[in-house]
Amino acid sequence: MIKFKIKYFILIIIFVLLLIGCGERNDKTLSDFISSFTIEENISDDIELSDSYTFNNKTITAVWSSDNEDALTSDGKVILSEDEAYVTLTGTFKYNDIEMTKSFDIVVEGVEISKLISKAFSSVSLPDETNDDIELPSKVTYGSYRFSTSWVSSKPNIISNSGVFNYPDEDTAVTLTCNVSRSTNTYSKSFTVTAKKLDKAKYLNALNNLNIPSMVETNLHISSSITIDNKDYDIIWSSNNEEVLTTSGRISYINSNTIVLLSATINVKNVAVTKVFEVTVIPNEAINHINQCIDEIVIPNIISNDIYLLKSLHNVKLEWTSSDPTVLNNDGTINKENKTYKQVTLSLKLTSGEHEATTEFITYVAYEPHMFIDRTFTGTKESTKISNGKLVLADGALKGTYTTDEISVNNFFECVGSYSAISSKTETCELKVRLKVNNKWSKYFTYGEFGFGLQNACYGQNDTYVTMSEDEIKTTSSYQATAFQLQIVLKRSKVSETGPIVSLIALTIFYNVEDFTVDITNIRKEVKYDVPELYQHIVPNIGGIICSVTSSTMLVMHKGYSFDFTTQYPHQYMAPLLKDYGNNVYGNWSYNCIGIGSLGFNSYVKKFQSYEEIMYHLNYVGPISASIRGTFKTDAKTYTTGGHLMVLTGYKIEGSKIYFYVNDPNIYGVSTRTTLENLKAVNRMVSYIVE
């Protein structure tokens, strides 16, 4: 038993000695490796650092760390600068279970600025070939250095100095040179990019797939855009015979088959790709064209200025007859001596081929000296034209103007301009107004460019005798204006766009005393319109300041406009669209009506001269939004306001008492009633009109 224990003890001693001997050999292997491992003390280029090394057929692992990563990173990348930098690079080496470290003191040499810029150039990566714009960096960087660049293209008509691409006729090599200026020196590096020509076949095939039939006898549905390779392109349509088939797909009356060439063009960058469709238009029943014309023609319920009466529409002849030419002529001209509303029936005969039809429009006509509305656009047109009774840009024009004649009126101190036009972010209008004061014309005061969806802005302006604050244009001191002139500027970003489409421009004049009486003997005793009720304070954050927008929204909803497409409250959705971002207000009178007009309605600001005129309007046209100020008493609530908008939805004549029905967005429950006396105490007589 003793011999057995001694035997095992000796074996354990031998095993321990073997382990000690092995450790000594590991330690020597590692120390010999470290002794042989060197790094240059002065460097200006990257050094090769590995995470493992082979030494005497043995693998040694390494972990590196730098105490100055801004000069030399832990993976051996040198970051140069103009000044030398000092770095301690430490390696931790391991072989089996033995670990040792060694530090190296290194100087990263300073270099000339040219080398730093050269290093910065290496950060620029341009494609070898392109068929689109190239982003040319305005700065190049290396380490902590940032150098501003300028670019020069060898063929700027193909790739501009800012990287804008235009298709060449053939594949073309373009040299783009990046320049960095430092003190008096300029350093450059050139890149070659091949600009690829356009593959027209792909786009022509896409256009060819448009659903354009070779024969038609009813109106065509024409696409305004096409998607190719997940990119949308506007389609510009043209017809060689607009009288038969318009670019909107509307066919007109014809008596025999007629071939029309309908062209679809898309602009791919600078290249126009066009597909021509040969369409045979087959005669359709003339009565169909007549009925469509009747559906398109709209005559205002109240006419206070000349109107445009079309003589033809879609090859259908139109003949107008007024029941009282002394009030409203057959050509739409009103008698400006008539200042009392008179009912006029406009009879219309429509003739298409052998078919005839007649229809009638009842309207009420009186010249209102305080309300100028231009619907006929008979003034001076530059790059604009009349299309279907509306003012639009001339074919191919991106900008145009229309200027009214000089309008002489009775002396006045204040006015507000407005207009109705379908607009968008890329189709805008700008209304300008000038006044004649002291026999001199003021400058044009602008309401700013307005495009539905933009952050539109109006600003205060001044001239010698005239000033503009938000929407109101006023004369200064005791001077009065004796005439005015309006100008509207139309713009669009592409000729393929159909807008803006202007249906009217307006100026309402504030007369302190004006003889404009209205006979309300024959109006209804009670009128009440079913106007949707909106409470302004339900809108978070801005609810307390959007009475104007809320009133405008109620009016367009009454006219049938639906907000089903949005999850927001209707007036919450409309608020940013009608806001005046220049004055930072939601209550710009003009912008509210201009915004309503962008939805396709005829709308304008009007200053009523009497309550009889308001009641007449409520009877024959519809509800209005009214501006008030002061202490307002209603059946539901009494409150004081420094400025507020609400909707008058009707009235009731009860013996000698007159009541007005009100949708007040400031009152919870909205719908209420007030007396004529209470309304007179606060009403500023300024209203939003939606025809």
- Environment class of 498 (CB within 10 Å of its CB; exposed 0-12, middle 13-18, buried 19+): middle
Residues 580, 601: one domain? yes
- Residue of 602, 643, 590, 370 lying closest to 473 (CA atoms): 590
Q: Is the peptide bond before 500 cis (omega within 30 degrees of 0)?
A: yes
Look up the CATH number of the domain holding residue 458: 2.60.120
Q: Is residue 521 part of a domain?
A: no
- Residue of 412, 462, 465 lying closest to 438 (CA atoms): 465
The CA distance from 46 to 90, in Å, is 16
Q: Is residue 516 part of a domain?
A: no
Q: Final residue of a domain: which of 510, 538, 570? A: 510
The CA distance from 649 to 671, in Å, is 9
> What are residue 596's phi and psi, to 5 degrees?
-60, -40
Residues 613, 670: one domain? yes
The CA distance from 338 to 346, in Å, is 17
CA angle 622/507/530 to nearest 5° reads 15
Residues 544, 453: one domain? no
DSSP 8-class letter at 328: B
Domain count, the chain: 6
- The owner of tokens 């009217």 is 504
Q: Is residue 407 part of a domain?
A: yes
- 603 forms beta bridges with 690
For residues 16-52, one letter each, b for 16 or more C-beta atoms within 10 angstroms of the residue's C-beta and e for the rest, the string is eeeeeeeeeeeeebbeebbeeeeeeeebeeebebeee
Q: Is residue 520 part of a domain?
A: no
Angle, nearest 10°, between helix axes 570-578 and 589-598? 110
pLDDT of residue 514: 62
Lookup: tokens for 484:
């005015």
pLDDT of residue 23: 44
pLDDT mean for each 10 residues of the chain (691 residues): 48 44 66 92 92 94 94 93 93 93 94 91 95 94 92 97 96 97 92 95 93 87 88 88 84 84 92 94 78 82 87 88 94 88 92 86 90 92 91 93 93 96 95 96 97 95 95 92 97 88 96 78 94 96 96 97 94 97 96 96 94 93 96 96 96 95 97 96 95 90
Residues 375, 482: one domain? yes
Residues 390, 261: one domain? no
The CA distance from 641 to 461, in Å, is 27
H or E element in which residue 3 lies: helix 2-36
Look up the CATH number of the domain holding residue 264: 2.60.40
Q: Final residue of a domain: which of 248, 281, 314? A: 281
- 472 forms beta bridges with 416, 469
Q: Is residue 542 part of a domain?
A: yes
Q: Is residue 515 part of a domain?
A: no
pLDDT of residue 208: 92
pLDDT of residue 473: 97
DSSP 8-class letter at 253: -
Angle, nearest 10°, between helix axes 547-558 and 589-598? 30
Domain that holds residue 38: 2-107
For the chain, state the CA radius of gyration.
40
Number of Cβ within a 10 Å radius of residue 166: 16
The CA distance from 284 to 290, in Å, is 11
Lookup: tokens for 537:
């304070």
DSSP 8-class letter at 638: E
Q: Is residue 384 part of a domain?
A: yes
DSSP 8-class letter at 159: B
H or E element in which residue 346 lies: strand 342-352
Residues 537, 668: one domain? yes
Residues 494, 376: one domain? yes
Lookup: tokens for 236:
């510009």
The CA distance from 363 to 309, in Å, is 14
3-state secondary structure of 601: coil
Residues 252, 321: one domain? no
pLDDT of residue 15: 44
| Number of alpha carbons in the 13 Å side-chain half-sphere of residue 337 | 3
Q: Is residue 518 part of a domain?
A: no
Residues 273, 333: one domain? no
Within 8 A by CB and 6+ apart from 105, the residues are 41, 86, 87, 88
Q: Final residue of a domain: which of 244, 260, 281? A: 281
The length of the chain in residues reads 691
Check if the beta carbon of residue 616 is closer than 8 Å to that of residue 520: yes
- Residue of 662, 300, 334 lying closest to 503 (CA atoms): 300
Lookup: tokens for 218:
């009813």
Look up the CATH number of the domain holding residue 661: 3.90.70.10
DSSP 8-class letter at 219: -
Instruction: Tell me, yes or no, if the pTM score tops 0.85.
Output: no
Residues 614, 655: one domain? yes
Check if the beta carbon of residue 123 is closer than 8 Å to that of residue 145: no
- Environment class of 587 (CB within 10 Å of its CB; exposed 0-12, middle 13-18, buried 19+): buried
Residues 546, 480: one domain? no
In the chain, the amino acid numbered 546 is I
Residues 221, 317: one domain? no
Assign 3-class secondary structure to 15-80: HHHHHHHHHHHHHHHHHHHHHHCCCCCEECCCCCCCCEEEECCEEEEEEEEECCCCCECCCCCECC
- Residue of 487, 507, 498 lying closest to 422 (CA atoms): 498
Strands 526-528 and 129-130: unpaired
pLDDT of residue 21: 44
The CA distance from 203 to 275, in Å, is 9
